[in-house]
Amino acid sequence: MSEFVTLTIDGIEVKAPAGSTVLEAAKLAGIHIPTLCFLKGINEIGACRMCVVDVGARSLQAACMYPVSEGLKVVTNSPEIRESRKVTLELILSNHEKKCLSCVRSGNCELQKLARDLNIQEIRFEGEEPDYPVDDLSPSIVRDNNKCVLCRRCVSVCRDVQTVSVIDAVDRGYRTTVASPFNMSLKDTPCVNCGQCITVCPVGALREKSSVERVWEALANKDLYVIAQTAPAVRAALGEEFGLPIGTPVTGKMVSALKKLKFDKVFDTDTAADLTIMEEGTELVNRIKNGGKLPLITSCSPGWIKFCEHNFPDLLDNLSTCKSPQNMFGAMLKSYYAEKMGIDPSKIFVVSVMPCTAKKFEARRPELAATGYPDVDEVITTRELAEMIREAGIDFLNLKDEPFDDPMGEASGAGVIFGVTGGVMEAALRSVPYLLTGKDPDQIDIKAVRGEDGIKTAEVEVAGIRIKAAVAHGLGNARKLLEKVRSGEETYHFIEIMACPGGCVTGGGQPIQPASVRNEIDLRTERAKAIYQEDAASTIRLSHHNPAVQKFYEEYLGEPGGHKAHHLLHTHYTARENYPEN
């Protein structure tokens, strides 16, 4: 059987791989077919009917589903096809809340772009005005069915990629909606707040719970000392909000913008990532040496932590007790930094700029308040920071680069790579040799844990100890890995899990790229390049070499894993019911 078939699309002869679709073949020929529900690798169900084409059958067919065949003749542009697409789109629009000017996705809405591309100037159908209640009870995600177009991308990513399955299509025909079981709020479901549903939504039916107004209020409050800390993945994607190519690093401009927003200090969460490695690496060494519970599983991803609490409560003792870098940093800012600078910790307001919607949930965990105050007061996403920059009238592209503030803005390259899948593992394995032997490793770049494979494994020999490690990203992959660990089929010393596919660089709070981009470009790979580029350029690439972290221990914490460090930098987690009775 030939690996390719020859077909004709709009009179153009095309050779396409056998088994591909008409949509894929049309792309090879440079022919554009509009889509709405289609998202490569996630949602390929032909539900919206926007991509219909004429293949000589009795009715028009969905190009995203129709397979190519030898000699197939396809027409993608005819009066009948254009009218079919327009009717379909007008029917969708007739039942859609048309508040475009005030919608969070205005200007970056796939439905809006389709209406423009198909020259929709009026809507010939009068639909029922949608009036669904907005679910805004979750600390992370707002769900607004008044804007939903029933594309089911959110359903697919939640069910098939993340294996969380807290939303699905319910009812039939005209009354179909996307809802949680029993019409619960997302807050009352096993939703892990990862926000992957937001990033795949083509419209504004899903968005993050905005914290912008509260941050503006804090910045205007003269009694507060407002500190921003920024996660590594933010600098790899923020530029996209201002038209820069995907993966453009904008660290200096980001810092400059935050200072123009009048934050009292702008610090680097990567500093706390280095601190995390010292604590987590010490925890790993102690468990290996003293027969502790293995594998040790990382605890930096709050979406993964909640997933574990719901789905793998029997493995909670395997979780590292280390807080995530954002909360370690918050605890240090309200203890060490407050004392050093003579600031009342009750007056310190910590704002985390994160690529992650789950960080909003994490910041509200009651167990993360070691100083008597919440470690982190508010979390804004990369998108929300861009919103604030635009609202303040800051010309981001023409900002001069500025450095992070001292003394909490110094980080190693190991701290930077926390933003990509495998980064926490690689950073830890760079420092574990030192924690075991007092000597630096011969090899800094551990490429076996890099890349986009869903599950990666590596073995590293240190001081005669062979450490077997695994990395999983995306909760579906995490589930596969942990089921093997639970059954005893696989054994490891150390496991890194990130809730979002690709790690934080594609977190739920990152800039939203439309399907037309996501279908052609791997966002994970492009954004990861910015992270690895900064790591490679760093003068310090090992967490234990970070002078700021060394000073934390010398002046305040004592030793890694010591009493004071444990009080401030460690926590605990609790098993959760999936659907608790009220």
Grade residue 407 by pLDDT with cuts at 50, 70 and 90: confident
The pLDDT-based confidence of 464 (bands split at 50, 70, 90) is confident
Tell me how far apart the alpha carbons of residues 534 and 411 are, in angstroms, rounded to a whole number. 11
Phi first, then psi: what are they for 456, rounded to 5°?
-125, 145
3-state secondary structure at position 365: coil
The answer, yes or no, to whether residue 440 has pLDDT greater than 90, is: no
Lowest mean pLDDT among 204-218, 298-312, 416-430, 474-488: 416-430
pLDDT at 409: 82
Q: State the pLDDT at residue 2.
A: 62
pLDDT (tens digit, 9 = 90+) per residue, 162-189? Answer: 999 999 999 888 889 999 999 999 999 9
Amino acid 11: pLDDT: 95
pLDDT of residue 483: 97
- Euclidean distance between CA atoms 10 and 1, whole angstroms: 26
Mean pLDDT of 295-317: 96
Confidence of residue 582 (pLDDT cuts 50, 70, 90): low
**How far is 45 from 54, CA to CA, in rounded Å?**
18
First to last CA, the chain: 59
Q: Is the pLDDT of residue 396 over 70?
A: yes
- Among 134-148, 411-425, 495-509, name the one with the lowest average pLDDT: 411-425
Mean of per-residue pLDDT scores for the chain? 95
Q: What is the mean pLDDT of residues 236-242?
A: 98
| Element of type H or E holding 390 | helix 382-391
- Of the candidates 498, 573, 483, 555, the residue with the CA atom closest to the CA atom of residue 528: 498
Q: Quick: pLDDT tens for 50-67.
A: 999 999 999 999 999 999
Region label for 21, one of left (φ > 0), alpha (ψ between -120 and 50) or beta (otherwise)? beta
Does residue 474 sit in helix, strand or coil? coil
pLDDT of residue 266: 98
Does residue 579 surpass a pLDDT of 90?
no
Residue 396 backbone dihedrals phi, psi, to 5 degrees? -60, -45
What is d(CA 10, CA 498) in angstroms, rounded to the nearest whole number?
Answer: 45
For the cut 80, the answer to whether the pLDDT of residue 119 exceeds it is: yes
Is the pLDDT reported for residue 102 higher than 90?
A: yes
Would you please indicate which residues are annotated as catalytic (active-site) residues? 280, 283, 300, 320, 359, 362, 367, 504
